[in-house]
Copies of this chain bind each other. A is one copy, B any other.
């Protein structure tokens, strides 16, 4: 074994393929003779010195992570205190890294996590313990900058397009006497990437989805209802895909419940029933609605093979960058061509990524704001390609990794924080 250990942590909302990144990290590190610790429940495990020794997991258990959704080592929503005002948490992290001779830290998350990894990367020398910090991209929201797309997004995009296609066949077949309007609510707090991916289900005004509601456009009830009505009159039914983050002209979230998560974001959910009520009341049509919620981001059984490969590639590259001595970078996906699709991995500075959010280009939304453009199709289409289902067991259900999660013996006093 090489001197020093690699610490891997998962952060924020998990995805169908984040464990494939974890598997690639562990397998690549093992091939270099480097021991990997995983923080239990993300950065909280690092603060608490609650570390899992992944070298105690069998080769087959790690391999099974490639087809296991969720976060196998636990993730968390926890925002570190800004070191400029209170550096106690960053100091603690450095103490834990030092105590366990952790030389490489891989933080698998979104733009919040990139910021944390960046701040940590600057502290090594100050605390007398050199550490190489690598951000590893992951988010179904597809809202990281620099990278062409984010691992996790392609699979939720495929699930969404596939669900729209399947459910619309159901609605179409019964629309004469039953449901006329079907509303599918999808994730997407500020950027409508997932809603846009629904557009891949079909092309043309008569093909579902007929209406997509993006957070990028303010929601205008009259235009929406007119579009739904016209679609039902012309096609016989109407499939609507609504982003959870749609806002009215004042910028107020339609679904704002007043609840806030650990990062201060409004806790969303429930736009679909609101829209359903509106359609039913104003147009007098029978409406059904669906909110897949976590089903969409954990649907490993319907994952995109492209997304899976990219999730694995960023994990492998992150280890290689770390062992090569790079610091404060993230392996990002660069697109060569749309068709045939070509991509490669490259290192990008975390400073360019941390705390920024990529919105959809305006050129991706149709003029009326209810559909995607050809440019959006060119971008999105390759990301959902290929099937990569998990193997199934005798019970007919997908097989998932079963880990031992053996704790590393603690060396420090308990952390007195959260």
* Chain A residues engaging chain B, CB cutoff 8 angstroms: 10, 13-14, 16, 41, 44, 68-78, 158, 161-163, 165-174, 176-179, 182, 184, 200-201, 259, 261-262, 267, 269-270, 273, 286, 288-295, 297-302, 304-306, 381, 384-387, 389, 392, 394-398, 400
From known contacts A166-B69, A286-B267, A397-B161, infer whether A10 and B173 are also in contact, taking CB-CB under 8 Å.
yes
Are A182 and B288 in contact, CB atoms less than 8 angstroms apart? no
- The complex places the Cα of A304 from the Cα of B250 at a distance, in Å, of 47
From known contacts A167-B298, A174-B75, A384-B396, infer whether A289 and B291 are also in contact, taking CB-CB under 8 Å.
yes
Are A78 and B177 in contact, CB atoms less than 8 angstroms apart? yes
Across-interface contacts of A74 in B (CB, < 8 A):
173-174, 176
- The complex places the Cα of A395 from the Cα of B389 at a distance, in Å, of 16
Chain A to chain B: the 6 pairs with minimum beta-carbon distance, closest first: A70-B169, A71-B173, A385-B396, A290-B293, A170-B298, A76-B177
- The complex places the Cα of A289 from the Cα of B291 at a distance, in Å, of 8
Across-interface contacts of A262 in B (CB, < 8 A):
177-178
Are B269 and A165 in contact, CB atoms less than 8 angstroms apart? no
Are A70 and B301 in contact, CB atoms less than 8 angstroms apart? no
From known contacts A170-B297, A176-B76, A294-B167, infer whether A396 and B158 are also in contact, taking CB-CB under 8 Å.
yes
- The complex places the Cα of A354 from the Cα of B8 at a distance, in Å, of 60
Across-interface contacts of A178 in B (CB, < 8 A):
76-77, 261-262
- The complex places the Cα of A163 from the Cα of B397 at a distance, in Å, of 10
**24 A–B contacts from the bound complex (CB under 8 Å):** A41-B177, A68-B169, A69-B166, A70-B166, A70-B169, A71-B174, A76-B177, A77-B174, A158-B396, A162-B301, A166-B295, A166-B300, A166-B398, A167-B294, A167-B295, A170-B298, A177-B262, A182-B293, A200-B395, A270-B273, A273-B273, A306-B396, A381-B395, A389-B389
Number of copies: 2
Are B290 and A295 in contact, CB atoms less than 8 angstroms apart? yes
- The complex places the Cα of A392 from the Cα of B388 at a distance, in Å, of 12
Q: Which listed residue (B72, B170, B290) contacts A70, Cβ 8 A?
A: B170
Across-interface contacts of A13 in B (CB, < 8 A):
174
From known contacts A176-B41, A295-B290, A301-B302, infer whether A398 and B170 are also in contact, taking CB-CB under 8 Å.
no
Are B400 and A384 in contact, CB atoms less than 8 angstroms apart? no
Are B293 and A289 in contact, CB atoms less than 8 angstroms apart? yes
- The complex places the Cα of A78 from the Cα of B394 at a distance, in Å, of 41
Known: A41-B176, A161-B397. 18 other contacts (CB 8 A): A70-B170, A75-B173, A76-B177, A77-B174, A77-B177, A158-B396, A162-B301, A162-B398, A165-B400, A166-B295, A166-B299, A166-B301, A169-B400, A200-B397, A259-B286, A304-B396, A305-B396, A384-B397
- The complex places the Cα of A163 from the Cα of B288 at a distance, in Å, of 20
- The complex places the Cα of A44 from the Cα of B176 at a distance, in Å, of 10
- The complex places the Cα of A286 from the Cα of B356 at a distance, in Å, of 27
From A77, A169, A200, A302, residue with most partner B Cβ within 10 Å: A169
With both chains docked as a complex, state the minimum distance between the C-beta of A123 and any C-beta of chain B, in angstroms: 23
Are B14 and A170 in contact, CB atoms less than 8 angstroms apart? yes
Across-interface contacts of A291 in B (CB, < 8 A):
289-291
- Report the nearest B residue to A76, measured CB to CB: B177
- The complex places the Cα of A386 from the Cα of B393 at a distance, in Å, of 9
